[in-house]
């Protein structure tokens, strides 16, 4: 009770450094102006929460296709804020938790946040946290409801809180009335053009030389019959890795794997 009381008031500084680093372990590549725009908006939201007299709570939803880089960008924005309290809430830390335990876990992190002056909570992959599955559909309504409340609950004066949610299922968020609960949205795109793809490939030195790169993209174009890509950065980086395993066949293998990923997206 004394300890509890203490616990109530003691500031909870703390940043999930390692988790943030893991989330962007392959860095942030600037393959498109959109990336910079997202980071710029992120900085503005950070400033708004830090400075505005009227806005002590702001919630932003980063949405985009699977593997497009949502978690990495949220981590980048959070890290750059240099806020004393930054936590990443992820289903990975809740495997085997009961519904109640999940809710307590969520509640604990927000309650901790209310003790530090400036806070960021990243709620990563919301569909996984609420245990969404399209068949049924089924999900944990108790967890969803707790989240809905925590996303709108004002921190006590004069604390500030920025919430960054991520999802690849924006339509699900809408169906659940969860999207409207966020104050603002940021759309994270796929790698959409050969130009963007080339930019990535150069930056990660996927090929030994420019002509290999050109050949591989030509091959990709000839398989798919289009200049569109529509694949997330995560899968592109994986394809680079896989291609590199097949020495002597890197150019072709890369094109084939990306083509398969494009087909799977349609599928």
Q: Residue 171 CB, nearest distance to a second copy (Å)?
A: 11
Residue owning tokens 């999940």: 102
Helix (H/G/I), strand (E/B), else coil: 213: helix
- 258-267: long-range contacts at Cβ-Cβ below 8 A with a sequence spacing of 24 or more? 258/197, 258/220, 258/229, 258/231, 259/220, 259/223, 259/224, 261/231, 261/235, 262/224, 262/229, 262/230, 262/231, 265/230, 265/231
Q: Verify binding: residue 168, ligand ATP, rule CB under 6 A.
A: yes
Structure tokens at 4: 């509890």
Site for a second copy in 204-243 (CB under 8 A): 235, 237-238, 240-242
Q: Draw the binding track, 14-33, toward a second copy (x: CB under 8 A; -: no contact).
A: --------x---x-------
Q: Verify binding: residue 34, a second copy, rule CB under 8 A.
A: no
Q: Verify binding: residue 51, ligand ATP, rule CB under 6 A.
A: no
Report the interhelical angle of 233-245 vs 250-266 (nearest 10°). Answer: 140
Q: Verify binding: residue 26, ligand ATP, rule CB under 6 A.
A: yes
Judged by CB under 6 A, which stretch of 4-12, 28-36, 143-151, 254-262 contacts ligand ATP? 28-36
Of 140, 149, 146, 144, nearest to 98 by C-alpha is: 140
The footprint of a second copy on this chain (CB under 8 A) covers a number of residues equal to 58
Structure tokens at 219: 């091959």
Q: Strand 184-187's sheet: what is its strand order?
A: 14-15, 85-89, 118-123, 160-167, 57-63, 184-187
Helix (H/G/I), strand (E/B), else coil: 164: strand
Task: Name the site residues for Mg ion (rule: CB under 5 A).
Answer: 70-71
Judged by CB under 8 A, which stretch of 54-62, 76-84, 188-196, 222-230 contacts a second copy? 54-62
Site for a second copy in 80-109 (CB under 8 A): 91-92, 95-96, 98, 100, 103-104, 107
How would you classify residue 70: left for phi > 0, otherwise alpha for psi between -120 and 50, otherwise beta? alpha
Given the rule CB under 6 A, which residues bind ligand ATP? 24-29, 35, 66-73, 125, 166, 168, 233-234, 237
Given the rule CB under 8 A, which residues bind a second copy? 22, 26, 44, 47-48, 51-55, 58, 66, 91-92, 95-96, 98, 100, 103-104, 107, 128, 131, 133-139, 141-142, 144-146, 148-150, 153-154, 174-177, 180, 183, 185, 235, 237-238, 240-242, 244-246, 264, 267
């Amino acid at each position: 009770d004394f300890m509890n009381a203490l616990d109530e008031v003691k500031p909870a500084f703390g940043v999930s450094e390692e988790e943030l680093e893991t989330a962007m372990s392959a860095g942030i590549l600037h393959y498109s102006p959109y990336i910079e725009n997202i980071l710029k908006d992120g900085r503005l939201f950070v400033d708004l929460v830090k400075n505005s007299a009227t806005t002590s709570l702001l919630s932003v939803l980063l949405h985009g296709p699977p593997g497009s880089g949502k978690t990495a960008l949220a981590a980048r924005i959070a890290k750059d804020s240099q806020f004393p309290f930054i936590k990443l809430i992820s289903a990975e830390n809740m495997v085997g938790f009961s519904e109640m335990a999940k809710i307590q876990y969520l509640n604990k992190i927000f309650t901790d946040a209310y003790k530090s002056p400036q806070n960021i909570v990243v709620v990563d992959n919301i569909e996984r946290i609420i245990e969404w599955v399209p068949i049924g559909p089924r999900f944990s309504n108790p967890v969803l409801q707790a989240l809905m409340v925590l996303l709108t609950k004002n921190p006590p004066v004069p604390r500030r809180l920025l919430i960054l949610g991520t999802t690849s299922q924006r339509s699900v968020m809408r169906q659940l009335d969860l999207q409207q609960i966020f104050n603002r949205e940021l759309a994270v795109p796929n790698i959409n053009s050969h130009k963007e793809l080339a930019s990535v490939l150069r930056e990660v030195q996927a090929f030994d030389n420019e002509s290999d790169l050109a050949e591989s993209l030509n091959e990709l174009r000839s398989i798919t019959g289009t200049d569109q890509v529509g694949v997330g950065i995560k899968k592109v980086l994986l394809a680079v890795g896989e291609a590199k395993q097949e020495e002597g066949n890197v150019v072709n293998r890369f094109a084939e794997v990306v083509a398969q990923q494009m087909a799977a997206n349609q599928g």
